[in-house]
């Protein structure tokens, strides 16, 4: 079987049989297509060996991180496992394959001062688009939501919980979690829903979206557009060109821990299945404590 045929069959399998989310499906499709580009020509699956994969990793390492490489290889590994299980090939070339070790990079965060400056200065802009974009950034920071989760929010995701509002977020594995919203985020969100969103909806020339956050054409905001919004505002106000929506999630977790929140609560708010995933933020918090110690302790 040709590699292109295997990819087509496998993608159909994971979409129909496994029912993966659209984002996961797109990621698999992208990574498997990347290997096809590396091969440069359509080849028989049986002719692909582990040395081909090692050469592929070597090429990828010039452009992307070890973590991203592992994602590419994981997609290939699962597809070749499928090929063995369905008698397309006889041997699994990944059976004894070892993934490259990942470097332990700490996630990037904005300082509290940077975050406050960014959001406070954005609030001075009162046009339709700025009001919409401030609401998005306030929600990303106040909730720690993944950008895909924020883009999927609908008005029904906002719940009244006594005298405050919460977000009902649907995360990985369709698991729901409830996240309280602070006053600033609620104010920005309500202003957007009352003032800007109706204007954006009128621009939509197709069926209106139920999503809270809309783009300038009145359609559901995409992850890519969200990234651009974050990058543009951060470059403009705090002169940072390296910030993404995920930086807001990292900052949310780090600032909570620095403010005294316990790690189990932060785990719940982030929607992490394992406490080990949340543990990385304690390293950053310890860095904060060291700085406080260095600045405050009298004996230098």
Number of structural domains the chain divides into: 2
Q: What is the CATH number of the domain that holds 55?
A: 1.10.150
Q: Are residues 233 and 132 in the same domain?
A: yes
Q: Are residues 79 and 118 in the same domain?
A: no
Report the pLDDT value the prediction gives residue 173, as an integer from 0 to 100.
Answer: 67
268 lies in the same domain as 145:
yes
The DSSP secondary structure of the chain, one letter per residue, reads: -BHHHHHHHHHHIIIIIS---HHHHHHHHHHHHHHHHHH-S--BGGG--HHHHHHHHHHHTTTS-HHHHHHHHHHHHHHHHHHHHTTS-SS-TTTT--PPPPP-PPPP---HHHHHHHHHHHTT--SHHHHHHHHHHHHHHHH---HHHHHT--GGGEEEETTEEEEEEE-GGG-EEEEE--HHHHHHHHHIIIIIHHHHHHT--SSPP--SSB-TTSSBPPHHHHHHHHHHHHHHHT--SS--HHHHHHHHHHHHHHTT--HHHHHHHHT-SSHHHHHHHHHHHHHHHHHHHHHH-S--
Q: Based on the domain organization, do 189 and 286 belong to the same domain?
A: yes
Of 38, 68, 85, the domain-final residue: 85
Beta-carbon neighbour count of residue 208 at 10 Å?
A: 13
CATH number at residue 131: 1.10.443.10
Report yes or no on 98 lying in a domain: no
Same domain, 208 and 121: yes
Q: Minimum mean pLDDT among 87-101, 151-165, 220-234: which range?
A: 87-101
Instruction: State the pLDDT at residue 277.
Output: 78
In a domain, 107, yes or no: no
Q: Which residue numbers are catalytic?
A: 146, 172, 246, 249, 272, 281
Same domain, 142 and 262: yes
Span 79-89, pLDDT tens digits: 999 999 999 99
- What average pLDDT score do residues 34-44 get? 85
Residue 13 lies in domain = 3-85
Domain shared by 65 and 165, yes or no: no
Decide if 74 is inside a domain.
yes
pTM listed for this prediction: 0.68
pLDDT value, residue 83: 92
Q: Is residue 92 part of a domain?
A: no
Task: Tell me: do 117 and 242 sit in the same domain.
Answer: yes
Q: Are 158 and 179 in contact (CB under 8 A)?
A: no
Mean pLDDT of the chain: 88
């Amino acid at each position: 079987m040709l590699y292109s045929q295997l990819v087509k069959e496998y993608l159909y399998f994971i979409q129909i049989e496994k029912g993966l989310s659209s984002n996961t499906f797109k990621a698999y499709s992208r990574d498997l297509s990347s290997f096809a580009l590396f091969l440069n020509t359509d080849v028989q699956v049986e002719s692909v060996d582990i040395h081909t994969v090692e050469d592929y990793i070597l090429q990828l390492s010039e452009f992307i991180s070890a973590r991203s490489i592992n994602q590419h290889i994981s997609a290939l590994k699962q597809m070749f496992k499928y090929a063995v299980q369905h008698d397309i090939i006889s041997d699994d070339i990944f059976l004894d394959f070892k993934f490259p070790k990942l470097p332990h990079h700490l996630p990037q965060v904005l300082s509290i001062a940077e975050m406050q400056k960014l959001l406070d200065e954005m609030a001075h802009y009162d046009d339709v688009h700025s009001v919409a974009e401030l609401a998005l950034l306030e929600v990303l920071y106040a909730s720690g939501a993944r950008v895909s989760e924020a883009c999927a929010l609908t008005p029904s995701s906002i719940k009244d919980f006594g005298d405050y509002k919460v977000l009902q977020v649907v995360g990985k594995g369709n698991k729901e979690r409830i996240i309280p919203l602070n006053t600033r985020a609620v104010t920005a969100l309500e202003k957007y829903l009352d003032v800007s969103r109706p204007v954006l909806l009128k621009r939509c020339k197709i069926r209106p979206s139920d999503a809270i956050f809309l783009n300038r054409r009145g359609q559901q905001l995409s992850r890519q557009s969200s990234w651009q919004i974050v990058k543009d505002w951060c470059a403009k106000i705090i002169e940072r060109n390296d910030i993404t929506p995920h930086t807001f999630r990292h900052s949310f977790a780090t600032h909570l821990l620095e403010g005294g929140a316990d790690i189990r609560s932060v785990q719940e708010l982030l929607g992490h299945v394992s406490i080990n995933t949340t543990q990385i933020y304690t390293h950053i918090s310890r860095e904060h404590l060291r700085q406080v110690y260095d600045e405050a302790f009298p004996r230098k």
